[in-house]
Amino acid sequence: MTSQDAQLLSEVQRDALDAKVPLADTLRKLVAFGGIVGSTELREWASLELRGYLGEDIELPRYRTPGAVLQINAIKGMMQITGQQISPRWLPEFTREHIGEEVQLAQPVGEVEAMLHRAEAEDGSIKLTLPMSQDLVALMNQESDEPFQHITAFYWSLSAPALAGALDQIRTTLVELVAEMRAGTPDTAEVPSGEVADKAVNVIVHGQNARINVTSASASGSGAHQVTAEAAYVEANRMKAAWPDLRGELEELGVPTSDLEELHTALLADGDPDPESKELGTATSGWLGKLSAKVASRTLVLAGTATIVDVVHRLLKSVGLG
């Protein structure tokens, strides 16, 4: 492996932290990096995000099923109804298992980003056609008890924030993957091995393992070149479980998304702190210093009467030191 390979991983992290860089561009770099280190898992996940989760046997990640509103357009007498919200209970019983108040975003990530731009440019949402919508419209009109009402369209209304949330989860997953791979890479290596990358995907994307086991070889002995194995274990820390609540609290204080992503990377890099030290890790402390500087210079104003002390308190509590 070369320093250029290490630079490629750094570019993945940099682009993932920059909301202005399209996710598709970042994921293509991750595919290339997965090929360099020989990680099948890394390439497969990034390729699915790029090409879409298409196929009956492909499981859709939870972050790609955002909430949506079921709506109809109809004509009732002389009145035209547009965007009337309905409950899934209105649907024929045999459809309720497949159609509800969630949308399956199986499209390529570039298409999902385009959907977000369209929603933002219009009225803050987009309309998505339901499976077999015309058949459902015909059936519901036929079984309706209201003779003067005629349904003309049936669709999901998906908001721009819901789309942005799904894309943010993909961006966060990218940051977590880089942090997990770096945490599992020995100091003697410039880039993670294929094994480390595969296990990082299993931990972050699939949640299948509690730790990454990295094995590196070191030579010892004079002239014998005896190779011994050094096992380095990187445990999935408490931060992964605590992060959603911490993120929500800091968002309420007004900490920007870009700063939150940098904090998440720092927390993952530091891992669980030593309870005896009662101190935050080096990376997290550095992030806190940058945020303090923004608050001091009035570049960042926290919500209400919140101060940097409130941020510190939440950080300490989240990692078990407060």
Please answer whether residues 245 and 318 qualify as being in contact, where contact means their C-beta atoms are separated by less than 8 angstroms: yes
Q: Are 285 and 311 in contact (CB under 8 A)?
A: no
Mean pLDDT of the chain: 78
Structure confidence at residue 286 (pLDDT): 76
Q: Assess whether pLDDT exceeds 80 at residue 289.
A: no
CA distances from 257 to 19, 248, 262, 264, 265 (A): 9, 11, 9, 10, 13
Mean pLDDT to the nearest integer, 264-273: 73
What pLDDT does residue 79 have? 81
Out of 125-129, 272-276, 296-300, least confident range = 272-276
Look at residue 121 in the predicted model and tell me its pLDDT: 92
Residue 289 identity? G
Residue 87 CB burial class (10 angstroms; 0-12, 13-18, ≥19): exposed
Distances (CA, A) of 117 to 16, 52, 126: 18, 18, 10
Mean pLDDT of 157-186: 90
**236 pLDDT tier (thresholds 50, 70, 90):** very low
d(CA 243, CA 236): 12
Closest of 165, 200, 166 to residue 30, by C-alpha: 200
The answer to whether the predicted template modeling score (pTM) of the entire model surpasses 0.75 is no
Q: Evaluate if residue 196 carries a pLDDT over 70.
A: yes
Q: What's residue 234's pLDDT?
A: 35
pLDDT at 158 exceeding the cut of 60: yes
